[in-house]
Amino acid sequence: MKIVACNSNMPLAAAVAEELDLPLCKTSIRRFADGEVFVEVLENVRGEDMFVIQSTSMPTNDHLMELLIVLDALRRGSARRVTAVMPYFGYARQDRKSGPRTPISAKLVANLLTEAGANRILTMDLHAMQIQGFFDIPTDNLYAAPLFVRDILARHSEIKEENLIIVSPDVGGVVRARQLARRLNVDLAIIDKRRERAGVSEVMNVIGDVEGRYCVLVDDIVDSGGSLCNAAEALMKHGAAGVEAYVTHGVLTGNACEKVANSPIKMLTITDSITPTEEQLKTANIRQISMASLIARAIRAVADESSVSSLFD
């Protein structure tokens, strides 16, 4: 097999290749003066099992187009199988019609990836599970929960003394939070919120007893940071002893880092599915853990035709 790295997250791609003890496939990905993407694969890929690593993070459309063109290049180069490894799947939040005459963009992206030449998709913590059904090709959705469990146990070795409780920042994330709570054998609480429009939410209630408890918020995406910070403030008002957050994808747009820095959140832990910005790196209460080993193990399982789900048992 061979690993191709696109431009959205080169550090993660290099770390995955190092975990697999493989060099990155030699490619040339550049842009013409008018912004068009040009791709040239500089190695023979005929009959190879190819894995293309690309998060469709900001600028989303540029990175998506880059991925599509690389997939097409590999298909035309007679690769035996092409797997799109997308640590962060852009457009995942557009998974349903939110109103009249609105698109289901996640389905459109699924169609584009398939038509471009992807034979398989490997991604991490999809915003909505039903997106797997948008694809007519095999789709593996990895979970960051094992990474978070190990990190929480390493940073909070005395869980009983700290009286830990896992908190879902909304009703839609209960399944994700419950999985983490079950692995840690701790209680679960839920934030009941109302979202009037995209990027704006209001906490209505806290379901569960968080008084005197050390709360760990768990979510898949932090974008503007408003919902997460509002949830942390609500938990502190209800008597929480402290609040941390574990989020898979740190999109962190606009002044999100400033919001987190000024919030009650002691530490926001995210993965390296998206390349961090300078502002993010400078924010004292934001840290990053690597998913390279997990993705490498999943790639190896796909290449060896062994079980991917066994990685989470």
55 is in an annotated binding site: no
- Report how far apart, in Å, the C-alpha atoms of 233 and of each of 138, 215, 260 are: 41, 11, 11
223 is in an annotated binding site: yes
127 is in an annotated binding site: yes
Q: Do the beta carbons of residue 142 and residue 311 sit within 8 Å? A: yes
Pairing mode, strands 242-250 and 214-222: parallel
195 is in an annotated binding site: yes
Q: Using CA atoms of 65, 56, 309, 83 in order, give the dihedral in degrees to the nearest 10.
A: 20
- Report how far apart, in Å, the C-alpha atoms of 15 and of each of 7, 18, 114, 281 are: 14, 5, 26, 19
Q: Do the beta carbons of residue 72 and residue 52 sit within 8 Å? A: no
72 is in an annotated binding site: no
156 is in an annotated binding site: no
Count the alpha carbons within 13 Å of 221 in the hemisphere toward its beta carbon: 19
225 is in an annotated binding site: yes
Q: How many Å apart are CA 311 and CA 313, to the nearest integer? A: 6
Is 97 an annotated catalytic residue?
no
Active-site residue, selected from the candidate residues 2, 193, 259, 282:
193
Tell me whether residue 175 is exposed, middle or buried, using C-beta atoms within 10 angstroms of its C-beta: 0 to 12, 13 to 18, 19 or more.
exposed
151 is in an annotated binding site: no
249 is in an annotated binding site: no
Q: Binding site membership for Mg(2+): which residues?
A: 127, 170
Enzyme catalytic residues: 193
Q: Binding site membership for ATP: which residues?
A: 34-36, 93-94
Q: Binding site membership for D-ribose 5-phosphate: which residues?
A: 195, 219, 223-227
Q: Binding site membership: which residues?
A: 34-36, 93-94, 127, 170, 195, 219, 223-227
